[in-house]
Chains A and B, each alone.
Chain A
Amino acid sequence: MKYYDKLIFDLSRPGRSGYSLPENPWGVTADALPEDLRRKTPAGLPQVSEPDVVRHYTNLSQMNFGVDTGFYPLGSCTMKYNPKINEQVASMPGFSALHPLQPEWTVQGALKLYYDLSKALSTLTGMSDFSLNQFAGAHGELAGLMIMRQYHRLRGDSGRTKVIVPDSAHGTNPASAAVCGLSVVQVRSLEDGTIDVGALKGLLDDSVAGIMMTNPNTLGLFETHVREIADLVHGCGGLLYYDGANMNALLGQVRPGDMGFDIMHLNLHKTFSTPHGGGGPGSGPVGVTSALAHCLPYPRVVRKNDGKYALLTDKDSCGRISGFMGNFGVLLKAYAYILMLGKQNVKNVGPYAVLAANYIKESLKDCYKLPIKGLCKHEFVFDGLAEDNGVTTLDVAKRLLDYGFHAPTVYFPLLFHQSMMIEPTETESKETLDAFIGVMRKIAEEAKSDPEMLRSAPHNTPVGRPDETSAATHPVLKYSDMQ
């Protein structure tokens, strides 16, 4: 990667432009609008030519790391390979030109895709019905909790205002609960990182709307007591929410619907191979059991008796959650991925992902502290270096960048002080995993021989560690603030 210093504004010169539009055949312009309603001062957007733009953004791209550049052992993020056929189908001109409010009879293909994809997700998860209208995992969580509240409300059970969240949960769980107007009650983990069922029992009463669980949890451990937990929570009238961020571990082998979950979300940009895009667009489909289908966000796609597809707005729906029907373009990609895998290969996703994680774990456990021994699922957590040289997890993470690897998820989960959460996915070859293992061992050596060098890593990246304190104390959030 190279260092390139410019912002697009630095390239701007008065009088330059990069657009091409037809001549105005009408001879009238928006200047005819009343003065009072018109913009007073120019916006001051950049004035650049098309070649300027192409070179600038190409240069920017070269300061970026992606799955296509190298390995991303990023825990709970499932940075698997993004197949290119996905991109080809998503850019088919027909789909991209569809207006979201076109009459149903003119968009039967798009509606069929919604329907078929949701059925595919149903068979893979054991849930009855899906809504594909959510834009991201956190958005799916929010919709899922709305469904939970709506379900209780429809039964006249309005006193359920609490949601139970394990202390190891993704940070979005409690945040989504709060946005949804539920108060969060934490249940603690046992030493081995799984939910303390005894402690859970003490929290259950008729004020509990439900529990949010990640299985395998954020330590990569399968919650073996999930049946007992499901019985307990259902027994007190609550519902079980499955946070699908870690679904890749189970894909093809274990289905949340079979474990007693009532509501779940998937992250298509994790488990179903759609690209992360530097933070989005993603997609967070929400699946429910048949007892909750009427509460899904509207509109939903249904198949009528005549075989035609239609949009349904259920009066019991938890509400509208997106302007239209989610990130359609992302759904196309995920569906292409499912078709490419087919019913046989999809069974290998989970096992191969789990194999890769265990392979790395067993290969590095002598030089990194492994707080929880034994079989993991698709990810596991090291608690820093085995030997304490004052080198932190952050230092290791930054040094990895020098060697051409992305860093693991660091300082999460919060159960350990030096967490380093590693998730390799099923699409990485043994050679790649071996190269990563080799570098991790080398860094462990460097921590002994040259800890100072690690503390100032990375050294071979376009920029070094940025000064985050000054960035947050005196925020500079736009170009005109830089002057």
Chain B
Amino acid sequence: MGCPYFPHTEEDLKQMLERAGAVSLKDLFSDVPEEFMFKGEFNLPDAMSEMEVLEKFRQLDALDKKLTVFCGVGAYDHYAPAVIQYLLSRSEFQTAYTPYQAEISQGTLRYIFEFQSMVCSLTGMDCANASMYDGATAAAEAMMMSVAASRRRHRILLSSTLLPQVLAVVRTYADYHGMEVSIIGQEGGQTSSASLAQELASGDVAGVLVPGINRFGIIEDLSGFADAVHAGGALLAVYSDPSSLAVIRTPGEWGADIACGDAQTLGMPLSFGGPYAGFLACRKEYMRKLPGRIVGATRDAQGRRAFVLTLQAREQHIRREKATSNICSNQSLMALYATVYMSLMGDEGLKKVNDLSYAGAHYLHDRLIATGCFEDVFDKPFLKEFVLKTDVPADQLQRALAEEGFFAPLQTEEGYVSFCVTEKRSREEIDRLLAVIRTVI
């Protein structure tokens, strides 16, 4: 079968080869030592038609079980307005390169500027970058940034209440980047301020990372954290769920220096873990330590409003081994996703998303307690996610629910079960979930 992506006719090939000074395509590889030329057969199927490719993916899709999601732990099933996918599929956005040529990239540059502006609004920070790969890598970059800002310090403190995958990724980066990690203990389901104070007291701390909402779903009370961290000469970074920041206290309001997290909660499909988009924002003092792409506003020679990639001297293509980070892209299209989402929602819509999630989660929580088989672990305020203790084996519960079309619960390392309810879950769905749970317990 031919290939629809190769436009060459026989005549084209003939003329092009002639100009290139070659007789055959093989001549074009005459500089490659013969021993390296691949002479075998690739272990791949023959070319497929579109119909066959679609069928192949339908078969793959059929192997996955479609579940109604009642879990979070870093990936949340929020509703995506129809407009978003429609706008994202515009090929001028989708097939564009990084906006180095500002004159023909004003579309990309403007939505990134809007994204940065909205991230600042939600987090209470002064400046934000064009997005990072995901929340976990944004957290790692936040810590590298605090080490760079401190100039001489190498220790970072990570709260034990951070999501496990965020902790794991930051630890990986730390391991190779030469950052020494200490873990801040927890007390009553939230980051322990006593443990923080103790770790700070042993000195050399460049950055401290704590969650805004932690892996138990608890909204952390960070009173006094910023003062303590600053007194220890370090920077405070708060890992936040941006959707929640419409209602809960922001990193800026807690006095943090850096805000990071995953923009997935802004309506992005679960998509088996990606693509999402990390965000990273900071106070003005640390602007030039902020890694990644940053878009700034300026004018052209005629005085028209124009946008450009700016502060590029921080970046790898100029600084090479002295760059603040090796990142040279962003999750641009997903930043557009988040930007369109935030535009449609506004403060009011985002507040309603949180209200519905809060109410649904508390409804499920209270009904589960009422079964008599679940009990609270911590008596702390939560938004849409919570953990409970139960004698019912978690895997048995998860299996039974999956058989009936639900995904819940996830188990924490302590053996608690974690549930999550977003605005997408109706009362009927929650009642059906409860009905299945009652048959198991």
Q: Is the CB of A279 within 8 A of B402?
A: no
Hey, what's the 0/1 contact readout for B127-139 against A, CB within 8 Å counting as 1?
1101101111100
Bound-state Cα–Cα, A407 to B101, Å: 8
Q: Is the CB of A178 within 8 A of B308?
A: no
Nearest Cβ in chain A — how far from B44, in angstroms? 4
Task: Specify the chain B residue showing the minimal Cβ separation from A173.
Answer: B320
Q: Is the CB of B92 within 8 A of A39?
A: no
Given A99-B69, A278-B108, A464-B301, are A323 and B273 also a contact pair (CB < 8 Å)?
A: yes
Tell me whether A156 is interfacial, beta carbon within 8 Å: no
Tell me whether B228 is interfacial, beta carbon within 8 Å: no
Tell me whether A236 is interfacial, beta carbon within 8 Å: no
Residues of chain A within 8 A of B399, CB atoms compared? 103
Bound-state Cα–Cα, A36 to B275, Å: 34
Tell me whether B161 is interfacial, beta carbon within 8 Å: no
- The segment from B115-123, B180-188, B192-200 found at the interface with A is B115-123
Q: Is the CB of A429 within 8 A of B8?
A: yes
Residue B101 contacts which of A24, A85, A401 (CB distance < 8 angstroms)? A401
Residues of chain A within 8 A of B414, CB atoms compared? none
Q: Is the CB of B310 within 8 A of A107?
A: no
Bound-state Cα–Cα, A32 to B361, Å: 13
Q: Is the CB of A355 within 8 A of B16?
A: yes
Residue A340 contacts which of B53, B104, B130, B362 (CB distance < 8 angstroms)? B53
Residues of chain B within 8 A of A224, CB atoms compared? 31-33
Tell me whether A383 is interfacial, beta carbon within 8 Å: no
Tell me whether A202 is interfacial, beta carbon within 8 Å: no
Given A9-B114, A324-B75, A461-B104, are A472 and B313 also a contact pair (CB < 8 Å)?
A: yes
Bound-state Cα–Cα, A470 to B308, Å: 11
Q: Which of A109-125 contact B (CB under 8 A)?
A: 109-110, 112-113, 119-120, 123-124
Q: Is the CB of A95 within 8 A of B272?
A: yes
- Among B103, B116, B319, B352, the one with the most A-chain Cβ atoms within 10 Å of its Cβ is B103
Hey, what's the 0/1 contact readout for B194-211 against A, CB within 8 Å counting as 1?
000000000000000000
Q: Which of A197-244 contact B (CB under 8 A)?
A: 221-222, 224, 226-227
Task: Count contacts on B: residues with CB < 8 A to the other chain.
Answer: 211
Q: Is the CB of B87 within 8 A of A340?
A: no
Bound-state Cα–Cα, A252 to B206, Å: 48
Q: Is the CB of B352 within 8 A of A66?
A: no
Residues of chain B within 8 A of A33, CB atoms compared? 219, 247-248, 358, 381, 383
Q: Is the CB of A278 within 8 A of B96?
A: yes
- The segment from B20-28, B229-237, B370-378, B433-441 found at the interface with A is B20-28
Nearest Cβ in chain B — how far from A14, in angstroms? 10
Taking A26-B362, A279-B98, A355-B17 as given, write out 6 further A-B residue pairs in contact, using a Cβ cutoff of 8 Å, ordered by the A residue number.
A50-B344, A180-B176, A184-B320, A342-B1, A374-B31, A465-B301
Tell me whether A345 is interfacial, beta carbon within 8 Å: yes
Q: Is the CB of B316 within 8 A of A171?
A: yes
Residues of chain A within 8 A of B60, CB atoms compared? 109-110, 112-113
Instruction: List 9 A-B residue pairs with CB atoms under 8 Å apart, sorted by A's residue number.
Output: A24-B356, A28-B355, A34-B381, A48-B343, A278-B105, A323-B166, A340-B47, A406-B101, A471-B296
Hey, what's the 0/1 contact readout for B292-305 against A, CB within 8 Å counting as 1?
01111111111011
- The segment from A138-146, A285-293, A440-448 found at the interface with B is A138-146
Bound-state Cα–Cα, A226 to B4, Å: 34
Nearest Cβ in chain A — how far from B341, in angstroms? 9
Given A254-B38, A255-B38, A324-B165, are A358 and B22 also a contact pair (CB < 8 Å)?
A: yes
